[in-house]
Amino acid sequence: MTRHPGFLLVAGWALLNGLLLAVLAIYGESATALACYGIAVGLLALAALAVLASSVRGPREHTRYRLPVRPGSAVLPLAAAAGLAVLAYPYGWWLLPIAAALLGLSLALAAHDRAARPRRSR
Amino acid sequence: MSLTGTADVEPARHRPAPAPGGWLGWLTTTDHKRIGLLTLGTSLLVMLGMGVLALLMRGQLAQPEEHLVGPQVYNQLFTMHGSGMIYLVMTPFALGLGVYLVPLQVGAPVIAMPRATLLGYWLYVLGAAIMLSGFATPQGAHSDGWFSYPPMAARTYTPGVGSDLWIAGVFLATTGVILMAWAVLWTALRKRAEGMTMLRMPVFSWSMAATCLMVIGAFPALLAALALLAAGRVEPAVFDSNLWVIGYQHLFWFYGHPVVYVMFFPYLGAVAEVLAVFSGRRFFGYRGTVFALLVFAALSMSVWGHHMFTTGQATNDYYSLTSILLLVPAGVEYFAMLGTILGGRLVFRTPMLFALAFVPQFLIGGLTGIMVGTPVLDYHAQDSYFVVAHLHYVLFAGSAFGLFAGFYLWFPKATGVLLDERLGRWHFWLLVVGTNLTFFPMFFLGYAGMPRRVVTYLDGDGFGLLNLLSSCGAAVLAAGMTVFVVNLARAALRRAPRAGDDPWRGHTLEWATSSPPPRLNFDAAHPLPPLTSEAPLLDLRRRAADEARGAREGRGAREGRA
């Protein structure tokens, strides 16, 4: 396990929160509050598992950096799509098709960039 | 998402394609330094705007029965000032510092998930624009405070699209911050250079790791709270049930307390770096501080109910206990800071001045926090100006001073230019005077019973003099921030004096590279030094000094024998 210090950090921190949650339950807090904290501890446990999975799969990630070779042109339409999607809440659902079109544009740009990327060297 | 080539050990073999130049290059950049600078710059711009809102409020409160703005506008001012400073300034600035600095400090050539980081920045910008656009709507911006409790924030009592825009904007900005936090955390956990063990990460990087853990643990609760508020504004019957009214408060404060530490830890980390560098010695009690940061962060997830003492629907004993327990890790951090200063060769440059002021000023904010974390005192101070004073001592007298300490420290690294020292000192002293003159009288106002969020007060209330002092302090703060802007403009126009790679004799890896750093952070001209501790450059200098001394003594001995 000492080969996975990142996992230990996140899992330990989740565990500490789990202990605090247990003490809160002993104090008799409402189910709403316990659920709130419990879900957060669950999220942290999932984060710890994600770190562990990454660590097991690629223990030497620090010597194999994934370098972005092209600018993030797909990001701008993706952000705009997200912006329009949340604006559908105050201004109506008619904005969603426009957001979907922007999402499509973003995916197309991403696919174009992916096709242009260099072969992986391992 | 288009991604990457992977480089085996030598990033230089797979250089990124030349980025488009000019503004498009910045807008679509995957360079963590540019994304960090965009985030920091945007936050600072919003901060100036939020300062103007604060000045309007202080103008309104300078005298009894003033009529500078009406009640409805005043409600919008305090709501957008508080929301803006928390959601759009202090939190994104903290994450922006992490995006810029953590890859440099752990010796990585890039940040993890650069496109997600860029997306995070754009979601933040769009969120800010949407939130602030409420001012342009017929009924104005949102007006229910930064926590926007239902049923007050439901459509029945707060009609108008400004509130909906506020919900949408905060949702987007927070999502962006979560993405940035993931990228920073992943970089610290998985992208460290070979030899950079976890316990060789600088205190600032540790403070960012703790911050990001809180973000991924607590911030989704805000998204859930906003979704609940949005649902309640569509269907008002939702808030007929106490379950959802009190449930909203639990969800909100589950985010709302950790966010205070998200707005504090990175600045504490910056102060720790400044104190060590300008004391000319290693940070005292490094391991204890790291442990204290993690315990502090975990405890901060468990104290949220102290914001709900007066609802009668929270387990006050537990929340009071965990709130007071915060004193232990906070005390460890304070002793570590003081231990660093004591016995050091102090150099009083602008970053150090801000860091030194942070120490006592934040203490006032922290200790008054313990006071309102105690139910019997909180019942008296709840919703009064005492709370306003406390939170401003934490977030302005504390965090903002840490922010400026870090800003003056790392500005030369990011730009290659030193800020003017004389103007920096003016900025510092005006901020010290302005901060304490503005916020200290508020403790007495609150204790005497002045409620927060009131548009005016009567002459006979006896609040006039203290409010006038507070408003004068706000004017001094404005003067201080003007000096800061002039200093920035001057540096941008003159591009001098040049800083060099390491103007402060720094301890951590970012000072080993050029100013500003190259695209992949370190290159042949600026290689990574041996990673021997959390202060590798200090080790390097000491080793060089020892070798030089040894060589001198050896030469002396040879000459003696001859």
3-state DSSP of B314-340? CCHHHHHHHHHHCHHHHHHHHHHHHHH
From chain B, the residues in CB contact with A114 under 8 A are: 1-3
Domain count, chain B: 1
- Residue B21, judged by CB atoms within 10 A of its CB (0-12, 13-18, 19+), counts as exposed
Are the Cβ atoms of B29 and A71 closer than 8 angstroms? yes
Are the Cβ atoms of A62 and B191 closer than 8 angstroms? yes
Residue of A nearest to B103 (CA): A62
Measured at the CA of B133, the angle between CA B224 and CA B383, to 5 degrees, comes to 55
Please tell me if residue B310 touches chain A, with a CB cutoff of 8 Å: no
Residue A61 has pLDDT above 80, yes or no: no
Please tell me if residue A22 touches chain B, with a CB cutoff of 8 Å: no
pLDDT 10s digits, B27-40:
999 999 999 999 99
- Asked if B145 contacts B173 with a C-beta cutoff of 8 angstroms, the reply is no
Tokens of A71: 């600018």
Span B487-502, mean pLDDT? 94
Q: Which of B23-27, B181-185, B376-380, B478-482 has the lowest mean pLDDT?
A: B23-27
At residue A114 the predicted structure's pLDDT band, cuts being 50, 70 and 90, is: confident
From chain A, the residues in CB contact with B218 under 8 A are: 40
Indicate the Cα dihedral angle B469, B474, B480, B485, nearest 10°: -170
B508 versus A116: the higher-pLDDT residue is: B508
At residue A67 the predicted structure's pLDDT band, cuts being 50, 70 and 90, is: confident
Are the Cβ atoms of B172 and A82 closer than 8 angstroms? yes
Give the minimum alpha-carbon distance from B228 to chain A in angstroms, rounded to a whole number.
13
Cross-chain CB nearest to B298 (options A16, A62, A116):
A16
State the pLDDT at residue B561: 74
Cross-chain CB nearest to A65 (options B109, B126, B217):
B109
Please tell me if residue B213 touches chain A, with a CB cutoff of 8 Å: yes
Residue of B nearest to A11 (CA): B213
Query: Sign of the C-alpha dihedral, residues B208, B329, B260, B409?
Result: negative
Report how far residue B370's alpha carbon sits from residue A96's, in angstroms, rounded to the nearest whole number: 47
* Domain region containing B67: 24-197
CB atoms under 10 Å from CB of B327, counted, come to 16
- Residue in B111, B124, B189, B328 to test binding to A, most A beta-carbons within 10 Å: B189
Residue B2 has pLDDT above 50, yes or no: no
Find residue A68's DSSP bridge partners: B4
Instruction: Write the CB contacts of B319 (distance below 8 Å, at least 6 apart in sequence).
Output: B302, B303, B304, B305, B306, B308, B309, B373
At residue B14 the predicted structure's pLDDT band, cuts being 50, 70 and 90, is: low
- Over the range B197-222, which residues count as b (16 or more CB within 10 Å of their CB) and which as e? ebebbbbbbbbbbbbbbbbbbbbbbb
Report how far residue A120's alpha carbon sits from residue B1's, in angstroms, rounded to the nearest whole number: 16
- Our measurement of the distance from residue B25's CA atom to the centroid of its chain's CA atoms, rounded to an integer in Å, reads 27
Instruction: Write the CB contacts of A93 (distance below 8 Å, at least 6 apart in sequence).
Output: none
At residue B554 the predicted structure's pLDDT band, cuts being 50, 70 and 90, is: confident
Distances (CA, A) of B467 to A111, B241, B434: 60, 40, 14
Tokens of B496: 């001098």
Are the Cβ atoms of A40 and B3 closer than 8 angstroms? no
Percent of chain B with pLDDT over 70: 96
Chain B residues 509-548 within an 8 A CB cutoff of chain A: 520
Residue of A nearest to B120 (CA): A79
Q: At what angle do helices B161-190 and B91-105 cross, to 10 degrees?
A: 20
Residue A73 has pLDDT above 80, yes or no: yes
Are the Cβ atoms of A67 and B6 closer than 8 angstroms? yes
Are the Cβ atoms of A13 and B213 closer than 8 angstroms? yes
Pairs of residues, one from chain A and one from chain B, whose beta carbons lie less than 8 Å apart? 222
- Asked if A36 contacts B166 with a C-beta cutoff of 8 angstroms, the reply is no
Please tell me if residue B192 touches chain A, with a CB cutoff of 8 Å: yes
Are the Cβ atoms of A66 and B297 closer than 8 angstroms? no
From chain A, the residues in CB contact with B22 under 8 A are: none
Residue of A nearest to B247 (CA): A32
Give the minimum alpha-carbon distance from A19 to chain B in angstroms, rounded to a whole number.
10
Are the Cβ atoms of B14 and A69 closer than 8 angstroms? yes
Please tell me if residue B155 touches chain A, with a CB cutoff of 8 Å: no
- Residue in A24, A65, A76 to test binding to B, most B beta-carbons within 10 Å: A65
State the pLDDT at residue A70: 76
Q: Does the residue B521 lie in any domain?
A: no
Please tell me if residue A73 touches chain B, with a CB cutoff of 8 Å: yes
Residue A60 has pLDDT above 90, yes or no: no
